[in-house]
Structure 1
Amino acid sequence: MTLIGETGGAPAGGVNLADIIKDATDASFMADVVEASKTTPVIVDFWATWCGPCRQLGPALEKAVAAAKGAVKLVKVDIDKNPAYAGQLRVQSIPAVFAFVDGRPVDGFMGALPDSQVKQFVDRLAKQGGGGSPIDQLLDMARESLELGDPGGAAQAYAQVLQAEPQNVKALGGLARLYQKSGDLERAREILEMAPEGAKDPDLDGVRAALALAAEAPSETAAFEQRIAADPDDHEARFELAKGLAAGGFMAEAVDHLLEIVARDRTWNDEAARKQLLTVFEAAGPMSEVAKQGRRKLSSILFS
């Protein structure tokens, strides 16, 4: 199953520094600052070439804004060449920094600050804007697509994230989960191998568990169903049937059979059914209805 569509010339989800850090003039101020801030918070740095503290503050601002990955923009204005808006904002000393949101100044400071305080200022503004970085927006888009039953749209959003950040754990986990659910276990395994060593993510862990189940599953289950029909206490047959069902994506049915084993003989084969249930819960997703209901039923059996 092909999940990722053609992206054409669409942005890859990365951030071009030229789009978020630029020089502005009095002529471009309305477009670069006032209008732009209606969609993304904009920081204006009023500076001059002769200003020593400006040369100290400028790189710190640029570094913090770049780290925000598009959640905030930076516009630099040389007041010697462009005095109009500095005058309107009553800039009396430089560096002078103003934060614009929705077309108006909402915060600011004068003079050079330590890098840590500059970062706090930028991060605070990013949260105030509420838009998040393009990467976060794409991840949100993927989640929304899944909620709307559009796995293709989710896959494309994840793919755009990975074009910008090839080792983004959330995107790798989400894409691997999509391939696993579609039955393309080989592609899911390839995505898992792209994850950084030691990366932890519920989707990554779930796909690993699903692949482990698939590796142990029998190719046919009819014989096990016949054995269970003849002897409901044939725990081995029920266990093998549950493995086959889980590998085929029938998680709820697999859980029911494993719970039946636990209910009949919870210590069978060194509690193999209970241990297998934990793997199935992880493969289905720890917050899935299968896992939630299965845990409740398991607790009811164990503590009854």
Structure 2
Amino acid sequence: MLELGQNAAPAGDLIYDVTEANFMADVVEASNEVPVIVDFWATWCGPCKTLIPMLEAAVTKAKGAVKLAKIDVDQNQQLAAALAQQGLPLQSVPTVVAFVKGRPIDMFQGAVPQSQLDAFITKVIEAGGGDASGGLDDALAAAEEMLADGAFEDAAQIFAAVIDEDPANAAAYAGMARCQIAAGELDQAEAVLNGVPAEVSTAAPIEAAFAQLELARQAANSGPLDELKAALAADENNHQARFDLAQALHAAGQVEEAVDQLLDLFKRDREWNDGAAKQQLFTIFDALAGNDPIVLNGRRKLSSLIFA
């Protein structure tokens, strides 16, 4: 079995202070690579002084599976206010928020016992697709290579073997589902994902597989590109045509072009169809690797529009 983080990263790469200037780069974008835990604290806060060394020790122990970003709310009031407007409850400190793939996925407030903190760290690592206990990485890597080469059945057998050894391995369940999606067996893929154990049902690989399944179903019903382009050319404010065109572009493998159309739609009317453009963007981002340039550029542009 492999041990997690055998090559430890320098502490400065794992634990750092964040300000308004580098929040997007060092929290949102960085969380596409590895989960980032953000500690909102203040110098006058007694519980903060207790929690910070506990957080630092837990993150150091994880050896690169998670990072810690510390934000002094008094020194970054504008950032704290902007995040509060986006729905983060930052009325009290300490508040600890975990970011995975550019979005907050879990949080707690106040100083907590070490056991609760360790459980939180483990949950965040697993939500980011990491293995908090170590192991089976080589088998998963081999299965992923087979899947990329089109050997769906062989890959599925390896993913199934990993599940036999680790029944709560989110990456293996997601891999099984992606094998079914690649083979065009969408109902079977949905059955695999619906059978995932509850404790890992919200893990990043599972959410990514669900996103890929949704996009695959959309592709089966997408309209002709030429007709949709003509409809949009006739009326650039035809939001439905622009949204349908984005779906068709994605189905045709033109992912970056699809993202551009959705960003344009969000800029024109972010509330159209209950925020459909933003939701579709998140679906596309979730389906891709967190470090994909399309994801990084798309999230950056979307965040700029949201905070504009």
| TM-score after normalising by structure 2 | 0.46
Q: Which has the larger radius of gyration?
A: 1
| TM-score after normalising by structure 1 | 0.46
